[in-house]
Amino acid sequence: MKPRFCCRRYRESGQLAIFAGRLMTATGITSRIIDFANLLVGRLQAGLSHVNIVTSMLFAGISGSAVADTASVGSVLIPAMEEEGYDSGYASAITCSSAIIGPIIPPSIIMIIFAITISEVGVSELFIAGVVPGILFGLGLMVATYIVGWRTDWESFPDVEEKERPSRHEALSITKDAGLALVMPVIIVGGILSGVFTATEAGAVAVSYTLLVGVLVYREMDIQSFVEASYKTVTMSGVTLFIIGAARPITYVMAIKAVPDAVGTFLFSVTQSPVLLIILIVGVLAVLAMFIESIANILLWAPIFTPLIIEAGADPLHFAIVMIMTLAIGMITPPLGVTLFVAAPIADTNIENITKNLGWFFILEALILFSIILIPDIALWLPRTLGYT
């Protein structure tokens, strides 16, 4: 019964996160966060690419869901990038690649499910441990953007010219206008860590806060935009749940046939070196993530792999972060890659066009993942410093 309960709570949190994201777009909160990100990095070469990445990092502290981030950020920035002259496939690829920061930077729905499934790891330490890897993912994507520009002599980017620096008054105005939106992650993460509300309740808090700020402060949402946001939430949730449901039979068959136990026993017989064992597990998870959605992978494999990691002498918190990052990267790998299916209709393009633009983003994120495998302190430094471990 426990896996079903966890899944149900995950679905509720996920759909509320998508609804909050859509409402943020309808109420003007999204545009204000984008304006703030544009203030920070918009003057860099390929400015809108960097704005996309930084916006996703800010959104990660609100939704905890890659699907919600893709839908909310993508609905604004993909059309904006296309209007500037970016290829639809590239605009979608950078949106999907940056959206997977959502499950890594707190509050992450996947982290909460992992902590519920594995008692050795607490949700608070997972949240803190995800901060540095999430930031590194964002910085890595910025590096990947420069690599793409360098390899194409910047022909892939229409906005490489230097933009005019905003005045101090404009900068203060943009920051002040985005203030209520930027405080939202503090409220949500703080509420979960302090125990004021649960993860599912956090989704409801995000929706309520968005409505409160959007209607009473920004005053940009009417009944029509609310209905439209609700409709888009329902359709987006339906598409996502259909994809997840279609992949579900594989999970049941593997569980019935005791595949996880057999794989775990085999891997442990191959090596008991903590680093090599984690690398082998990451290889298995990378393949599984192409066909099985992330929450099912956690419920199915975390109880098998975590005891092996502990027996090999590795830190379960380190493994938890590595597993979550691997499954997050799986959200941009076809054929399942749920973020690709969310971005494609927004950009009016196909999955193949998005996939062929993912190369360098995928490589940089994979390199960061392997860096954290080889150097656990990258992820463990902050929770240790703050006294969580």
Which pLDDT score, from 0 to 100, does residue 387 have?
A: 84
Q: Determine what percent of the chain is predicted with pLDDT higher than 90.
A: 40
271-304 confidence digits (pLDDT tens):
889 999 999 999 999 999 998 888 888 888 998 8
Distance CA 145, CA 149 (A): 6
CA distance 37 to 55: 6
Give me the pLDDT at residue 162, please.
60
Looking at residue 8, what is its pLDDT?
53
Residues 339/332, Cβ–Cβ less than 8 Å: yes
Q: Express as a percent the part of the chain with pLDDT over 70.
A: 92
Give the residue, 227 or 328, on which the prediction is more confident.
328
Sign of CA pseudo-dihedral 369, 373, 374, 376:
positive
How many domains are there within the chain? 1
**What would the two tokens of residue 254 be?**
């593997």
Answer with the residue of higher pLDDT: 17 or 27: 27
Question: Quick one: tokens of 28?
Answer: 């003007």
Q: Is the pLDDT of residue 347 over 50?
A: yes
What is the pLDDT at residue 11? 53
Q: DSSP for 70-103? A: HHHHHHHHHHHHHHHT--HHHHHHHHHHHHTTTT
Q: What angle do CA 270, 274, 276 make, to 5 degrees?
A: 55
Q: Is the dihedral of CA 165, 169, 170, 174 positive or negative?
A: positive
Mean pLDDT of the 130-143 span: 96
**pLDDT over 70 at 246, yes or no:** no
Q: Which domain holds residue 61?
A: 2-385
pLDDT in the model for residue 250: 74
Residue of 251, 247, 269 lying closest to 260 (CA atoms): 251
Cα 384 to Cα 128: distance, rounded to the nearest angstrom: 9
Give the per-residue pLDDT at 1: 35
Confidence band (pLDDT; 50, 70, 90) for 5? very low
pLDDT of 321: 97
| Rounded Cα–Cα distance for residues 65 and 271 (Å) | 34
Distance of CA 78 to the CA centre of its chain: 17
Helix spans in the chain (H):
2-27, 29-41, 47-60, 66-84, 88-99, 109-117, 123-129, 131-151, 168-182, 184-194, 199-212, 223-256, 259-270, 274-288, 294-311, 316-329, 338-347, 351-355, 359-374, 377-385
What are the distances in angstroms from CA 229 to CA 19, 71, 124, 207, 221? 7, 11, 32, 12, 10
Give pTM, 2 decimals. 0.87
- For residues 97 and 112, what is the distance between their CA atoms, to the nearest angstrom? 22
Q: In this predicted model, what pLDDT tens digit does every residue of 164-198 receive, in sequence order?
A: 778 888 889 999 888 888 888 888 888 877 778 77
Q: What is the mean pLDDT of residues 232-238?
A: 76
The pLDDT value given to residue 78: 94
Residues with Cβ < 8 Å from 26, sequence gap 6 or more?
Answer: 214, 220, 221, 225, 226, 228, 229
| pLDDT at residue number 210 | 87
Q: What is the pLDDT of residues 96-121, one digit of tens each?
A: 999 999 999 988 888 888 988 888 89
What are the tokens at 249? Answer: 């039979």
